[in-house]
Amino acid sequence: MLVAPVLIFLGFFFAYPMYEGLRLSIWDDEAVLPLREGPSLKDSESGRLSQGVTVEVLGRQGNLLTDADATDLLTETWFRVAVTQPDGTTVDGWAPESRIRVREEGPDGTPLSGTVRPKLGEPDDPRTTLRDGPGEGGTEVAFVEPRAPAAIVEVAILEVWFNVRGTDPGESAQGWAPSRFIQVFGDEVTGRIDRGSAGEFTTEFIKKMFNDRFFDPAWRTTLLLLVLIIPAQFALALLMSLVIHARLKFNSWFLYVFTIPMGMSDLAVGTLFFSVFTGNGLLNSVLEGLGIIDSPHVFLSSQTRNWIILAIVVAEIWRSTSIVMVILVSGLQAIPDENLEAAELFGASYWQRVRYVMLPLLRPSVQVALILRTILALQVFAVVIALGGGDTVTVLTNETFRQYADFRNNNVAAAYALFVMVLSLASAFFYLRTVRTDTEIER
Partner 1 sequence: MTERKFDVLLPLDSSEVQRLHRNMKRRANRGRVWTYLGAGLIVLWILVPLFFLTSMAFTTREAVRSYPKSVLPFIPFSTDTVRFFLDQPGVVDGLWNSLIVAIITLLLSTILAAPAGYAIARYIFPGRDLVRLGILAVRAFPIVVLSIPLAVFFLRAGIFDSLYSLAFMHTALTMPTSVLIIASVFASVPHELEEAGQVFGASALQSFWHIVLPLALPGIAASSIFAFVLSWNEVFAAGVLTLENRTLPALLLVQLQQSSDAYQFAGGFFLMAPSIVFMFFIRNYLFNMWSQVTK
Partner 2 sequence: MSEIVVERASKSFGSKVAIDDVSLTVDDGEFLVLLGPSGCGKTTLLRAIAGLGMVDSGRITIDGRDVTYVPAGNRKISMVFQSYAIFPHMSVRNNIGFGLRMSKTPKEVIQERVEEAASLLHIEELLDRKPSAMSGGQRQRVAVARALAMKAEVLLMDEPLSNLDALLRLEMRAELKRLLAEVNATTIYVTHDQIEALSMGDRVAVMKEGVLQQVDHPTVVYEDPSNEFVGGFIGNPPMNFIDGVVRQDKGRLAVELAGQKLTVGSALPALRAYGGKPIRLGIRAENMEAVQSPVSDGLKVRVEVVEPLGAQNLLTVTLLSAGSDAQPMKVSTHPTFGVTVGEQLWIRFPSHQIRWIDPQTQEVLSSG
348-349-353 Cα angle (round to 5): 65
Residues 359-388 that bind partner 2 (CB under 8 A): 360-361
State the Cα–Cα distance between residues 71 and 141, nearest whole angstrom. Answer: 32
For partner 1, the closer CB: 141 or 287: 287
Per partner kind, with CB cut-offs from 5 to 8 A, the member of partner 1, partner 2, none near residue 339 is partner 2
For partner 1, the closer CB: 91 or 268: 268
Can residue 365 be called a binding residue for partner 1 (CB under 8 A)?
Answer: yes
Contact string 265-304 vs partner 1 (x = CB under 8 A) = xxxx--xxxxxx-xxxxx-xxx-xx------x--------
Can residue 333 be called a binding residue for partner 2 (CB under 8 A)?
Answer: no
For partner 2, the closer CB: 172 or 251: 251
Q: Out of 67, 140, 171, 341, which residue is the one contacting partner 2 (CB under 8 A)?
A: 341
Per partner kind, with CB cut-offs from 5 to 8 A, the member of partner 1, partner 2, none near residue 385 is partner 1
Can residue 221 be called a binding residue for partner 1 (CB under 8 A)?
Answer: no
Per partner kind, with CB cut-offs from 5 to 8 A, the member of partner 1, partner 2, none near residue 400 is partner 1
Are 83 and 119 in contact by the 8 Å Cβ rule? The answer is: no
**Least Å from the CB of residue 110 to partner 1:** 30
Q: Which stretch binds partner 1 (CB under 8 A): 142-150, 152-160, 220-228, 324-332?
A: 324-332
Can residue 378 be called a binding residue for partner 1 (CB under 8 A)?
Answer: yes
For partner 2, the closer CB: 331 or 390: 331
Per partner kind, with CB cut-offs from 5 to 8 A, the member of partner 2, partner 1, none near residue 255 is partner 1
Residues 175-234 that bind partner 2 (CB under 8 A): none
State the Cα–Cα distance between residues 416 and 431, nearest whole angstrom. Answer: 23
Buried b vs exposed e over 351-385: b needs ≥16 C-beta within 10 Å? eebbeebbeebbebbbbbbbbbbbbebbbbbbbbb
Q: Out of 12, 16, 19, 356, which residue is the one contacting partner 2 (CB under 8 A)?
A: 356
Per partner kind, with CB cut-offs from 5 to 8 A, the member of partner 2, partner 1, none near residue 262 is partner 1
Residues 155-174 that bind partner 1 (CB under 8 A): none
Q: Which stretch binds partner 2 (CB under 8 A): 33-41, 42-50, 131-139, 344-352?
A: 344-352
Can residue 247 be called a binding residue for partner 2 (CB under 8 A)?
Answer: no
Q: Out of 51, 132, 344, 354, which residue is the one contacting partner 2 (CB under 8 A)?
A: 344
For partner 1, the closer CB: 136 or 344: 344
Q: Which stretch binds partner 1 (CB under 8 A): 47-55, 77-85, 138-146, 330-338?
A: 330-338
